[in-house]
Amino acid sequence: MNTDEQPAEDAEDTKEGEKEEIQEDVQTGTPLETHNVEIQEESTPSNVPVEDSADANNAAIGVGASSDSPSALLSPAIVQDETASDTQPGEPSESDAAGARENDDAQNSAVNFPSAVDVQLRESESVPPHTATPTPQPGTSAATPTPEIPRTSSAPPNADSDGVNPGTAASSNKRKRLPQDKIGQLEDRIADDPRGDIDAWLRLIDEHQKKGKLDEARATYERFLEIWPNSASQWISYAKMELANNELRRVELIFQRCLLSVLSVEICSLYLDYIRRINNLATDAGGRARAIISQAYEFVLNHVGIDKESTRIWQDYIAFIKNGPGTVGGTGWQDQQKVDHLRKVYQRVICIPIQGVDQLWRDYDQFEMSLNKLTGRKFTQEKSPYYMTARACLHQLNEKTANLQRHSLARLPPIPGFEGYVEWQQQLSLWRGWVEWEKEDNLVLAKDDPDTLKQRIVYVYKQAVMALRFEPQIWFDYAEFLLSQDSTDQAMDVLRQGIAANPESCLLHFKLAELLESSIPAGDTQDAIKNRGQQVRKPYDDLLNTLYGLADKLQNREREEIAKLEALDARSTPMPDMDNTEGTDSMRQNAIRAIREGMKAQQTALQKTISAVWINLMRAMRRIEGHGKVNGPIGGSRQIFMDARKRGKITSDVFVASALIEYHCYKDPSATKIFERGMKLFPEDEDFALEYLKHLLAINDVTNARAVFETFVGKVSADKAKKVYRFFHEYESHYGELGQVYKLEKRMAELYPEDSMISSFGERYSYSSINPCKYAPVISLHQLKPPVPLPQPQPVAPAPVQVSAPPPQRITDSPKRSLDDANTSDADQGSHRPRKIHRPDSPLKGAAGRKLKQERQQQQRNAGRGQQAQLAPVPPPLPDGVMFLLGILPGADKYQAARFSAEGMVTLLRTIELPARKFSASSR
């Protein structure tokens, strides 16, 4: 990477005279030189042809290595290809291919991937076929290096951390794709956003598989797994693709790479299915296949058996043991061995909070009771407390992880304030809650089995970084836990894995650099100091390279978006009305302006972050190497300052930090020279001017401080100078002459007429946080009257609507038959008889009638009370004296004396025992 570039504001710094001046001021000695960053070139390894063998498939079924083979450390029945050292003519040698190998941080071992699309395998000449692979025993040391694995990635050797070559990415974006070229379009999307566009990756793999291009699909899988190495779902898809094509050797290589690094129940289940497929029990006369399967189960359960979703594996293992040779309850040695094996597995699983632990306990109880009720009751009573604890913990764990998403395909975290951020924070909180639950030791393992407790916590962390791979905080918490367990090397490995996933994370880089600084012993010799400084500086350099690359990408993105907008305008058909031309141009200019403003905000934030990284690197080098000498054997903090200036994209904070280090640590006068140089480069930076003034006043150089103040406020606008005006006004008020204060206040009143003169005057006589001008003395108790609440305006009730009653009807004749007409027949009366009116129902009689009457009266009373409450006047306030007394009385919570407890007195009287009194006959 070329680091000769300088920012536009620092262009004048390239002049020879100014370089000599700053070198003399900082005591650097020699002229500045370009800070070169070494780039290791990689060579592309060649393909290795497959050796023709009639027993190729047989070698893949149950093949393995001897106990001395490195594959014995991985898992049983996993084939280890130990490639011969000879190469075919015209192919690069093994030493040439080593340049393209990358470190796998998860396993701390070298993992090789040939860049050719077609991955070709050859059988090992040193390992005979049909040999069993020993199972790694628990606690086996992993010091033996992990065997190297061929790489099927087609990414160029100089690809970036996302697996995309930055040199070809830009050209691929400019290339026009045909509408039917789906693969090319997907490749462009991946090159544009390799870590964000997951859908493009999955669709590209699917397209290759649909067309039967297995080599291209393998290459895409390898590129994908470089970014998501712990994505269990894609490892499973990769293995199933090879299984569907009967590529058993490739399947074994996949298991070899992912079983230890990706702790997934699904992967382990697929691995066990594969082991049982290639080891046929029906033709297993000598028991070799059963032994391999049993070892595979033990290997898997040692790694994922503590997962609460591993119930199926435990049940299958128990069923596998039951179907083995021997009879439960028999008297032979094989029968007793089977019983002991079953009892051991049952007693392991019932102590683990997994789904279905209740059914497993019932099966265990039935198993023991079927053998011997007396001994069975003894065994179950011994394990009953562990089972009860596991069952209770399972209930708690299910509540903790109810809304937890345990997916293995991690996505980039949303930016605060945008879609999905709240949900992301909730998931992060849930994962941390699960970790804290494990740390609380609800299973009571800390005293008897601390290793299992640590294993459970580490397992949860590994599951968390699988789901939140691009969240630096979870990696930081994981490393902190390992440090608390005195596992410094493991913590460094975790931090390196986190940095590989998050190369832009300042949090992880700073933590790794700090851990290196504290763990590497400080030497007295120059070589020891230089070596320590180089190791500590490497994380900072890696972070700076990534951040500078982001800055370049932002600039390229800005140009591309503006170019796309202009191209879209050029293709658009102009409107017939020419009056719309100005409106179209205005819209285009507004869109371009919005793009530039958005990119400028991102560039500013990135520039501040880059400056902060340089400042922290400067401080670290000062602690390790001192101030040093530029271009000397030990550069120190001064070399970092020069490197930052040469590389550019920094703010004035770097100059302030360098000057303050020179002044506070070494009392060097070059601090003032650095401030002077910075003032020329950032003449309108109010924050830098303020720091410069503070420094000049700290060294009692008041004359230059006044000159800097006048120079700065004369260049910038009033808004930018307000902060500097306030600071200098405070200084003049405390240590200057009154005439200077008057002049300064007059200038400030003209520039800032909205500011209060009383406030400015009071600040002049304030000290620290005390402003005596704002002091309000209590002269009389009448000043302490509590505020009287204002009467709340009552809502005006609407006037009742007056409904006029209908006029009374005049009835001439009674509806009843009169006495005179009682003897008159209906026929004689004729039609002049008045019509009968329907009589209403009679009121209820008895208790029902009284109850109905009481309810009506109660409703009427309630209605009357509500109307009175609405119309009740506001009570007059209490007298002033009473209100004052109530205001100064302490609250009930201030009463600290003994309180009378009625309940306690009643309890005392109830429980007291009175002496029995004997009454004589005479006393009666």
289 CB-contact burial (10 Å; exposed 0-12 / middle 13-18 / buried 19+): buried
Compute the distance between CA of residue 107 and CA of residue 493 in angstroms, rounded to an integer: 9
SS3 724: helix
Q: How far apart are CA 64 and CA 68, in angstroms?
A: 11
Q: What is the pLDDT of residues 716-762, one digit of tens each?
A: 999 999 999 999 999 999 998 999 999 999 999 999 999 988 988 98
| The pLDDT value given to residue 914 | 78
For the chain, percent of residues with pLDDT exceeding 70? 70
Q: What share of the chain is helix, strand, coil (3-state, %, to 5)?
A: 60, 0, 40
Q: Where are the alpha helices (DSSP H) in 716-840?
A: 718-735, 738-751, 757-764, 826-829
Counted residue by residue, the chain has a size of 924
320 pLDDT above the threshold of 50 = yes
Kindly report the pTM of this predicted structure.
0.68
Return d(Cα 390, Cα 388) in angstroms, integer: 5
Question: What is d(CA 140, CA 767) in angstroms, rounded to the nearest whole number?
Answer: 68
Q: Can you tell me the mean pLDDT for 517-537?
A: 91
Residues 6+ apart with CB under 8 A from 232: 258, 262, 264, 266, 267, 408, 466
State the distance between the two ends of the chain, measured CA to CA, in whole angstroms.
119
Between CA 398 and CA 839 the distance in angstroms is 71
Mean predicted confidence (pLDDT) in 416-428:
92
Top-confidence residue, 319 or 130: 319
Q: Kindly report which listed range (267-276, 820-829, 862-871, 886-895) carries the lowest average pLDDT score.
A: 820-829
Angle at 668 between CA 727 and CA 534, to 5 degrees: 110
Nearest-angstrom CA–CA distance, 784 and 574: 75
pLDDT on residue 479: 96
Residues 849/855/856/858 CA torsion (nearest 10 deg): 140
Question: Taking Cα atoms as reference points, which of 777, 774, 738, 775 lies closest to residue 756?
Answer: 774
Residue 221 has pLDDT above 70, yes or no: yes
Confidence (pLDDT) at 169: 39
pLDDT, greater one: 820 or 45: 820
pLDDT the model gives residue 893 = 72
Residue with tokens 């794709």: 177
Angle at 864 between CA 863 and CA 865, to 5 degrees: 90
For residue 865, pLDDT over 90 is answered with no
Q: According to the model, what pLDDT value does residue 671 have?
A: 94
Give me the pLDDT at residue 573, please.
52
Mean pLDDT, residues 369-373: 90
pLDDT digits (tens, 9 = 90+) for 901-923: 888 888 888 888 777 655 444 44
DSSP for residue 104? E
pLDDT of residue 834: 52
Neighbouring C-alpha atoms within 13 Å toward the C-beta of 598: 12
78 vs 56: CA distance, rounded Å: 15
Q: Which residue intervals of 503-525 are DSSP H helices?
A: 506-519
Residue 315 DSSP label: H
CA nearest to 659, candidates 668, 650, 651: 668
Question: 109 forms bridges with which residues in the sheet?
Answer: 104
**pLDDT, mean of residues 638-645:** 95
Average pLDDT over residues 667-672: 93
The answer, yes or no, to whether residue 167 has pLDDT greater than 90, is no
Give the per-residue pLDDT at 69: 34
How far is Cα 557 from Cα 596, in angstroms, rounded to an integer?
A: 10
pLDDT of amino acid 567: 79
pLDDT at 18: 41
Place of tokens 């005293």: 447
On the question of pLDDT at 877 being above 90, the answer is: no
Q: 672 pLDDT exceeds 70?
A: yes
Reply yes or no on whether the pLDDT at 345 is more than 70: yes
What integer is the mean pLDDT of 51-74? Answer: 35
Contact 679, 708 (CB under 8 A): yes
| Positive or negative torsion for Cα 422, 423, 426, 428 | negative
Q: How confident is the model at residue 444 (pLDDT cuts 50, 70, 90)?
A: very high
Pair of tokens at residue 507: 């949090």
pLDDT score at 571: 66
Cβ burial, residue 539 (10 Å; 0-12/13-18/19+)? buried
Whether the predicted pLDDT of 146 surpasses 60: no
Given this model, what pLDDT does residue 580 score? 54
- Does residue 113 register a pLDDT over 60? no
Torsion, Cα of 729, 732, 733, 738 (10° steps) = -120
Name the β-bridge partners of 770.
767
d(CA 610, CA 718): 29
Residue 248 confidence (pLDDT) above 50 = yes
Tokens of 8: 């536009």
Examine the pLDDT at 110 and tell me if it is beyond 50: no
**Cα 396 from chain centroid?**
23
Q: Where are the alpha helices (DSSP H) in 736-845?
A: 738-751, 757-764, 826-829
Q: How far apart are CA 382 and CA 529, in angstroms?
A: 60
**Is pLDDT at 823 greater than 60 in this prediction?**
no
What whole-number distance in Å separates Cα of residue 89 and Cα of residue 109? 29
Q: What's at 14, amino acid-wise?
A: T
Lowest mean pLDDT among 72-86, 474-488, 699-713: 72-86
Helix (H) or strand (E) holding 103: strand 102-104
- How many other CB atoms are there within 10 angstroms of residue 249's CB atom? 19
Q: Is 467 helix (H, G, I), strand (E, B) or coil?
A: helix
Q: State how far the Cα of 499 lies from the Cα of 493, in Å rounded to an integer.
A: 10
Residues 462 and 468: their CA atoms lie apart, in Å, by: 10
Q: What mean pLDDT comes out for the span 587-602?
A: 87
**Residues 563-573: tens digit of each pLDDT:** 888 877 666 55
pLDDT level of residue 873 (50, 70, 90 thresholds): low
Q: What is the pLDDT of residue 171?
A: 38
Per the CB < 8 A criterion, the answer to whether 296 and 342 are in contact is no
Average pLDDT over residues 473-477: 96
Give the span between the Cα atoms of 403 and 53, in whole angstroms: 52
Tell me what the pLDDT averaged over the chain comes to. Answer: 77
Please state which of the ranges 172-181, 402-411, 467-476 shows the lowest mean pLDDT: 172-181
What does the pLDDT read at residue 790?
A: 66
What pLDDT is stored for residue 59 in this prediction?
Answer: 34
Q: Which helix (H) or strand (E) holds 605?
A: helix 580-625
Residue 353 has pLDDT above 60, yes or no: yes
**Rounded distance between C-alpha atoms, residue 847 and residue 850, angstroms:** 5
Quote the pLDDT of residue 793. Answer: 62
**Rounded mean pLDDT, 40-58:** 33
Least confident of 17-31, 456-470, 854-868: 17-31
> In degrees, to the nearest 5, what angle opens at C-alpha 217 toward C-alphas 215 and 218?
65
On whether the CB atoms of residues 301 and 317 are closer than 8 A, the answer is yes
- Burial class from Cβ neighbours inside 10 Å (0-12, 13-18, 19+) for residue 3 reads middle
Indicate the pLDDT class of residue 882, thresholds 50, 70 and 90.
confident
Q: What is the pLDDT of residues 789-801, one digit of tens each?
A: 766 666 555 555 4
- Strands (E) in 438-573, as ranges, are none
- pLDDT of 245 reads 94
Flag whether pLDDT at 64 surpasses 90: no
CA angle 677, 678, 684 (to 5 degrees): 130
pLDDT at 764 over 60: yes
> What's the confidence (pLDDT) of residue 836?
54
- Please give the pLDDT value at position 791: 67
pLDDT at residue 916, as a whole number:
67
Reference 355, options 325, 315, 413; nearest CA is: 315
Question: Is the distance from CB of 354 to CB of 308 less than 8 angstroms?
Answer: yes
CA distances from 7 to 34, 648, 703 (A): 15, 5, 32
